[in-house]
A and B are shown apart, each in its own frame.
Chain A
Amino acid sequence: MQYAHDPALLLARFQFAFTVGVHIIFPAFSIGLAAYLAVLEGLWLKTGRPVFLDLYRYWIKVFSIVFGMGVVSGLVMSYEFGTNWSIFSKKAGPITGVLLSYEVMTAFFLEAGFLGVMLFGMNKVGRKLHFAATCCVSVGTLISMTWILSSNSWMQTPRGYTIDPVTGRFMPADWLAIIFNPSFPFRLVHMGLAAFLSVAFIVGATGAWHMLKARKAGKFSSEPVRVMFSMAMWMAAIVAPLQILAGDAHGLNTLKYQPAKIAAMEGDWVSEDHAPELLFGIPNMKTEHTDYAVKLPLAGSLILTHSLNGKVPGMKDFPRDQRPPSPVIFFSFRIMVALGMLMMLVGLWSLWLRRNSTLFTNPVFHRVALCMAPAGFLALLCGWITTEVGRQPWTVYGLLRTSDSVSPVALSSMAFSMTAFVVVYVLVFGSGLGILVRMLGRAPQEGEHDTPPSLATEILAARMHPGVIDPSTGKGA
Chain B
Amino acid sequence: MMDFAYWLPIIWAVILVAAISIYVVLDGFDLGIGMLFALERHPDRRDVMVNTIAPVWDGNETWMVLGGAVLYGVFPGAYATLLPAFYLPIVLMLLALIFRGVAFEFRVMTRGTGREGMWNAGFMAGSAIAAFCQGTILGGVVQGIKVVDGAFAGGPLDWLTPFSILCGLSVMCGYALLGATWLIWRTTGVLEASCRRWAARLAVGLFIGIVAVSLWTPLLHAPYLRRWTDWPNIAFVAPVPVLVVVLGRLFVMGLRRGHSKGPFLCALGWFFLCLSGLGITVWPYAVPPGLTLWDVSSPPSSQFFQLIGTAILLPIILTYTIYSYHVFRGKVTETDGYH
Contact = CB atoms under 8 A, between A and B. Distances in A.
Chains A and B belong together in one complex = yes
Interface of A: 64-65, 67-69, 71-76, 78-79, 81-83, 86-87, 89-91, 93-106, 108-117, 119-121, 123-125, 164, 169, 171-173, 175, 407-410, 412-413, 416-417, 420-421, 424, 428, 431-432, 435, 439, 451-457, 459-460, 463, 474
B320 A104 contact: no
B68 interface: yes
Contacts of A460: 44, 47, 334-335
A403 B97 CA distance: 30
Contacts of B104: 68
Given A67-B58, A69-B101, A86-B81, 17 more contacts: A75-B61, A82-B68, A93-B72, A98-B298, A98-B302, A98-B306, A101-B309, A104-B65, A108-B62, A120-B337, A173-B301, A421-B95, A424-B98, A453-B108, A454-B109, A455-B337, A463-B44
B136 interface: no
B299 interface: yes
B94 A101 contact: no
A89 B56 CA distance: 30
Nearest to A64: B105
A413 B50 CA distance: 34
A79 B68 contact: yes
Given A86-B81, A94-B73, A112 B313 contact: no
Nearest to A15: B91
Which residue of B81, B91, B298, B324 has the most chain A CB atoms within 10 A of its CB atom?
A: B91
A83 B69 contact: no
B176 to A, nearest CB: 22
A413 B156 contact: yes
B82 to A, nearest CB: 7
Contact of A172 (B62, B76, B305, B334): B305
A195 to B, nearest CB: 20
A119 B55 contact: yes
A310 to B, nearest CB: 40
A459 B47 contact: yes
Which residue of B83, B152, B328 has the most chain A CB atoms within 10 A of its CB atom?
A: B83
B73 A109 contact: no
B139 interface: no
B90 interface: yes
Nearest to B334: A460
B321 interface: yes
Given A82-B83, A83-B90, A101-B69, A432 B106 contact: yes
A400 to B, nearest CB: 13
Contact of B305 (A98, A103, A417, A424): A98
A54 to B, nearest CB: 19
Interface residues of B, number: 80
Interface in B38-55: 44, 47-48, 50-51, 54-55
B310 interface: yes
Contacts of A409: 84, 87, 156
B64 to A, nearest CB: 7
A101 B63 CA distance: 11
A65 B109 contact: yes
Contacts of A424: 95, 98-99
A93 B58 contact: no
Contacts of B112: 474
Given A171-B299, A454-B109, A407 B102 contact: no
Contacts of A455: 108, 337-339
A86 B62 CA distance: 22
B282 interface: no
Contacts, number: 284
A121 B325 CA distance: 11
Contact of B84 (A71, A73, A105, A408): A408
Given A102-B309, A121-B55, A435-B109, A89 B72 contact: yes
Contacts of A76: 94, 98
A65 B108 CA distance: 11
Nearest to A178: B305
A120 B328 contact: yes
A463 B47 CA distance: 13
Given A98-B306, A456-B336, A407 B84 contact: yes
B111 A101 contact: no
Contacts of B68: 78-79, 82
A169 B54 CA distance: 42
Q: Which 10 A-B pairs have the closest CB atoms?
A: A93-B76, A97-B73, A82-B83, A116-B55, A120-B338, A454-B108, A97-B72, A90-B80, A72-B101, A86-B80
B183 to A, nearest CB: 15
A105 B73 contact: no
A113 B51 CA distance: 16
A421 B111 CA distance: 26
Contacts of B321: 109, 113
Given A424-B98, A460-B335, A105 B317 contact: yes
12 contacts: A82-B84, A86-B83, A90-B77, A94-B298, A94-B299, A97-B73, A101-B74, A451-B337, A453-B109, A456-B334, A456-B339, A463-B44
A97 B74 contact: yes
B190 to A, nearest CB: 15
Contacts of B317: 105, 109, 113
Nearest to A115: B58
A111 B61 CA distance: 12
Given A409-B156, A421-B95, A117 B309 contact: no
A64 B95 CA distance: 20
